[in-house]
Amino acid sequence: MSFDTLLVANRGEIACRVMGTARRMGLRCVAVYSEPDAGALHVRMADDACCIGPARASESYLSAQRILEAARRCGAGAIHPGYGFLSENADFAEACRGAGLVFVGPSADAIRAMGSKDAAKLIMEKAGVPVVPGYHGEEQGAAALEEAAANIGYPLLVKAVAGGGGRGMREVASAAALPKALEAARREARGAFGNDHLLLEKLVSPARHVEVQIFADAQGSVLHLFERDCSIQRRHQKVIEEAPAPGLSAKTRSAMGEAAVCAARAIAYEGAGTVEFLLDCSDGDERFYFMEMNTRLQVEHPVTEMIHGVDLVEWQLRVAAGEPLPLGQESLAPHGHAMEARIYAEDPARRFLPSPGTIVHLAEPPASDALRIETGVVAGDTITVHYDPMLAKLVAWGADREAARRQLAAALAAYEIAGPATNRSFLSRVVTHPAFAAGAVHTGFIEEHRAQLLPPPAPLPDRALALACVDAILCRTPSASRGSATRQAGDPFSPWDAADGWLLNAEGWDELVFADGDEELRVRVHYSSEPGTLGPGAAPGEYRMELPGGEQRVRGRVLERIARHGVEIHRLEAWLADTRVAATLVHRADLIDLFCAGEHHVLVPHDPRHSVCDEAEAAGAIVTPMPGKITRVFVEAGQRVKKGEPLLVLEAMKMEHTIAAPAAAVVESLGCAVGDQVEEGATLVVLGSG
């Protein structure tokens, strides 16, 4: 190895992932971090760490100058860029090599060749690789794009040539919708990539997103590690990936692999890369088209590692040091099946809006040979608005696809997280959906099955209410007990200090109230410490609960109480009738997160001492869902709006989010203007009935 110290120019789970391999190889690891990341997991994992600036990525993780200075100060001999940030920045790769550092990635020329989607398509056409029909010319005027769109036909996609992760991409159904789509895509691309050049593509639907992992060394060897299916996407961003692609014919698999190797050879590629294809499955045939090449490691690379038993980061480091590839194409064959689910801090019920906040509770399923967990966060960490909200990846392996799917479903069920909203439950619904189980995946899967995957909020089930009630009774303080004297006598044998509902001449009972949206749920709990009081068959310490769905006998015990990160965590064992269940309850300031059998419920206990907020005061106020910048305002005071009509555009967490009217109304006042930086909860627009 030509270097002994590696600087990882990234953050989060990919920085932790790279450092894990580097340290196993005996390399010293250097982390870089922005000011809010000073206590992040990747910083704590490193042997050394350098602060490179404030929260804004352009002044820290995107600052090549600061990263190179950190490498000089810490004596690094090589830089691994991870993915995102500077990983596909040709100028950065060039600057690293100019500073005498090994850049763990391809040459600057290769990055430039594939860095622009339109230029990449021209190169692929010349190399004989099939490309999606469309327009990728230099002329960017509205008239030229409208004419090109008419020639392609609708529906089509508008894409930023420098884009990625769904940014700067818009689906257009008709000519009338094209001008707004072009404007929005340009604005988002300019903000995300500093380049508002666009291309147009025929929308292939139904389609699958299938990509091929390629690797090349300085000795001229190029190989592929077969394909991954990344069709399950929201907002054109992947959330579940798997390898191999289900149902792909051997003929198409071979042709895709050969095309990917051909693409790599066309630009004299070195290192790890991914060639992405669109698989047209509209008429049963398997026609594939080149979409783009990512000149870096992909988020979903672990599924390829799991089916080949290799470490692609180790391959990257060895190839960057001048070593040949450790295997040849003839030695590679997939073994079993792997699936990956990306857990994000986002709210699926609110159009997958990012959900910043502090993680107050995190419990992961145990890792094993069949389950890999990659994360960059721990309980107590705060998810900010400054960076991508991905929290972790769960990667499952099985002897076949069904075994891998069941393994992933079990891992998602066992993953507990409280604090910011997440997509964990949504992912569970995807993985357990019959169509997914059957392998019927395509890029429109989420929209096709939206009703099942994104159902409206359901009433709290009786089981959740029963568990919350028994937990409340077992953990209550004496002063909270019905019928108790509120004084604290300190006598453990005094009936006035007991919290078991004991009454002198009557059956003890209590009524617990929880809020479920606008509805109050009341549960009357009857209890007694004397056998037989609750009727035949009752056990000591058993409670009879009058739940919305009927009566239920419940008993239980708290196995553990832990206080940390400002919350109290209860591990509960309970028997609902004759069924034993285990649950975790996380008590926050004003609500309870309940985890049981893969379900996550949020309960709001009713406290009569706290008045309900004045709904009339808040009615009609549209508030900021997260901190961000106002980039567009579509309305003015006095204007009438229809339900769903856009009010403004908020830029946050590297994406644009359109805030729409929840109902027909009149704009009474505006609380923001274009260019304003707004905090979460700030009033943006006040609507009235008019």
- What pLDDT, in 10s, does the model give residues 236-260? 899 999 999 999 999 999 999 999 9
Confidence of residue 628 (pLDDT cuts 50, 70, 90): confident
Cβ-in-10-Å burial (0-12, 13-18, 19+) of 388 comes to buried
Is residue 279 situated within a structural domain? yes
Q: Are residues 229 and 331 in the same domain?
A: yes
Of 308, 335, 362, the residue at which a domain comes to its end is 335
Q: Are residues 382 and 296 in the same domain?
A: no
Question: Cα separation of 201 and 195, whole Å?
Answer: 18
Q: Are residues 223 and 253 in the same domain?
A: yes
Confidence of residue 500 (pLDDT cuts 50, 70, 90): low
Q: Are residues 286 and 309 in the same domain?
A: yes
Q: Are residues 592 and 619 in the same domain?
A: no
pTM of the model: 0.84
CB atoms within 10 A of CB 511: 12
- Structural domain harbouring 181: 138-202
Q: Nearest Cα to 472, choosing from 511, 506, 508, 498?
A: 511
DSSP state letters, 387-399: S--EEEEEEEEES
Is residue 320 situated within a structural domain? yes
pLDDT digits (tens, 9 = 90+) for 292-327: 999 999 999 999 999 999 999 999 999 999 999 999
CATH of the domain at 188: 3.30.1490.20
Is residue 116 situated within a structural domain? no
Q: Nearest Cα to 189, choosing from 167, 172, 156, 171?
A: 167
Is residue 666 situated within a structural domain? yes
CA angle 629, 634, 636 (to 5 degrees): 105
Is residue 112 situated within a structural domain? no
pLDDT digits (tens, 9 = 90+) for 379-410: 999 998 889 999 999 999 999 999 999 999 99
Q: Are residues 357 and 322 in the same domain?
A: no
Instruction: Give the 3-state secondary structure of residue 661.
Output: coil
What's the pLDDT at 255?
96
Q: Are residues 166 and 223 in the same domain?
A: no
Of 335, 351, 366, the residue at which a domain comes to its end is 335
**Which amino acid is located at 462 in the chain?**
D
Is residue 509 situated within a structural domain? yes
On the question of pLDDT at 437 being above 80, the answer is yes
CATH of the domain at 302: 3.30.470.20
Residue 57 phi/psi, 5-degree rounding, is: -60, -35
The tokens describing 650, both together, are 């908020």
Is residue 355 situated within a structural domain? yes
Of 335, 353, 381, the residue at which a domain comes to its end is 335
- The single-letter DSSP state of residue 455 is P
Q: Are residues 279 and 226 in the same domain?
A: yes
> Would you state the torsion angle of the CA atoms of residues 412, 416, 422, 428, taken in this order, to the nearest 10 degrees?
20
- Contacts of residue 360, Cβ cutoff 8 Å, sequence gap at least 6: 379, 380, 418, 419, 565, 566, 567, 586, 588
Catalytic, out of 170, 186, 296, 405: 296
Specify the number of domains making up the chain.
6
- Contacts of residue 493, Cβ cutoff 8 Å, sequence gap at least 6: none
CATH of the domain at 649: 2.40.50.100
Active site residue 429: no
Is residue 161 situated within a structural domain? yes
Q: Are residues 219 and 182 in the same domain?
A: no
Q: Are residues 21 and 57 in the same domain?
A: yes
Confidence of residue 476 (pLDDT cuts 50, 70, 90): confident
